[in-house]
């Protein structure tokens, strides 16, 4: 990795950290989820970054992929366990980071479990190490606190304009024998839950991603697909952003593009047994044996 690109990855991480801390600081009971998302987006832009993906603002038993609709009326309530999962893009160099806030209250043992699991990973992570050791560290930390790790969510590699690429870094020891990359960027994200530790698809989400170029007959849908491919490449984006650009006609066009498999629509992920979920996440850059926690 050349120094110019390395600096972009580091900058993306520093901005991700700043926006994560800003977002956590402004969460209040009775705040609209939509208002929080917009403030997060505006903060990224004010710092000179684009978003790596729409803000994921998942509460309670929702684990991931909830991002507010353009007319979302969901209100945060005191005691809600809110996961804030966000990331910056600097010319396609990305960060991915998350924190969990208990709305209007102090932390809980569940939140502390996922936070401590990530802190323990920071102490041991090395380029090329056995991924099972990371999973074992996360699993032991969470189970020792009396909770369950989510077995079918975990960390992942990142490359330019690609939030999920390469190795999967589970929250448990899968005895896979697989290794972390020795150079490049990965994200580790411990998820803890009061439930059985497994997530399932629930409702269709508001986050989409370019999947493949298709022959589209509808002109509006075709124009929107061209815009998506140019503006976001392979990064996830929000329906709300497309409506802001093209108006409500985008609703129909996005459905056309999903049905044609030009776009992928992310489902909202929910803990199967209804357990509350907490999450923390950092991005790690490996370069010439060095480990840089870009979002710390």
CB neighbours (10 Å) of residue 255?
13
Q: Look up the CATH number of domain 201-267.
A: 1.10.10.10
Two tokens, residue 284: 């790690």
How confident is the model at residue 271, as a pLDDT?
A: 98
pLDDT surpassing 90 at residue 1: no
Non-local (6+) Cβ contacts of 147 within 8 A are: 109, 110, 113, 192, 193, 194
Per residue in 260-274, pLDDT (tens digit) is: 999 999 999 999 999
Active-site residue, 156 included: yes
**Segment 219-234 mean pLDDT:** 96
Instruction: Tell me, yes or no, if 281 is annotated catalytic.
Output: yes
Nearest to 127 by CA among 175, 186, 189, 172: 186
End-to-end CA distance of the chain: 21
Mean pLDDT over the full length of the chain = 97
Which CATH number describes the domain made up of 3-199+269-293? 3.90.230.10
85 tagged catalytic = yes
How far is it, in rounded angstroms, from Cα 80 to Cα 89?
Answer: 29
Decide if 164 is catalytic: yes
**Token representation of residue 142:** 């969470």
| Mean pLDDT (whole number) for 24-46 | 98
Does the annotation mark 96 as catalytic? yes
Provide Rg for the chain, Cα atoms. Answer: 19
**pLDDT at 94 (0 to 100):** 98
Indicate the angle between helix axes 131-144 and 109-124, nearest 10 degrees: 150
> For the residues 34-62, what does the mean pLDDT come to?
98
Q: What b/e readout covers 24-57, taking b as 16+ CB neighbours within 10 angstroms?
A: eeebeeebebbebbeebbebbeebebbbbbbbbb
What is the arithmetic mean of pLDDT over 198-207? 98
- The domain locations on the chain are 3-199+269-293, 201-267
Q: What's the CA gap between 159 and 186, in Å, rounded?
A: 9
Secondary structure of 80-115 in the HEC alphabet? Answer: CEEEEEECEEECCEECCEEEEEECCCCCCHHHHHHH
Which residue is catalytic, options 61, 206, 271, 281?
281
């Amino acid at each position: 990795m050349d120094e110019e690109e390395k600096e972009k990855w580091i900058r993306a991480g520093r901005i991700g950290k700043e926006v994560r801390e800003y977002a956590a600081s402004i969460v209040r009971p009775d705040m609209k989820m939509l208002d929080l998302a917009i403030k997060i987006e505006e903060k990224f832009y004010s710092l000179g970054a684009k978003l790596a993906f729409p803000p994921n603002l998942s509460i309670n038993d929702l684990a991931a992929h909830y991002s507010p609709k353009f007319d979302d009326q969901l209100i945060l309530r005191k005691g809600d366990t809110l996961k804030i999962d966000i990331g910056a893009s600097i010319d396609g160099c990305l960060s991915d980071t998350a924190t969990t806030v208990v709305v209007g209250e102090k932390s809980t043992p569940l939140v502390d479990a996922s936070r401590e699991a990530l802190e323990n990973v920071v102490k041991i992570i090395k380029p090329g190490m056995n991924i099972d050791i990371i999973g074992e560290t996360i699993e032991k930390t969470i189970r020792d606190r009396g909770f369950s790790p989510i077995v079918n969510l975990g960390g992942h590699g990142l490359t330019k304009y690609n939030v999920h690429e390469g190795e999967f870094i589970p929250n448990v020891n899968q005895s896979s024998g697989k290794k972390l990359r020795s150079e490049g960027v990965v994200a580790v994200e411990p998820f803890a839950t009061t439930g059985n530790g497994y997530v399932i698809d629930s409702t269709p989400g508001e986050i989409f991603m370019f999947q493949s170029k298709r022959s589209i007959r509808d002109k509006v849908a075709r124009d929107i697909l061209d815009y998506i491919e140019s503006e976001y490449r392979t990064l996830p984006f929000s329906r709300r952003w497309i409506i802001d650009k093209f108006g409500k006609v985008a609703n129909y066009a996005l459905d056309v593009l999903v049905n044609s498999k030009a776009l992928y629509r992310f489902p909202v992920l929910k803990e199967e047994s209804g357990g509350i979920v907490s999450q923390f996440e950092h991005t790690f850059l490996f370069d010439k044996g060095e480990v840089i926690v870009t979002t710390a």
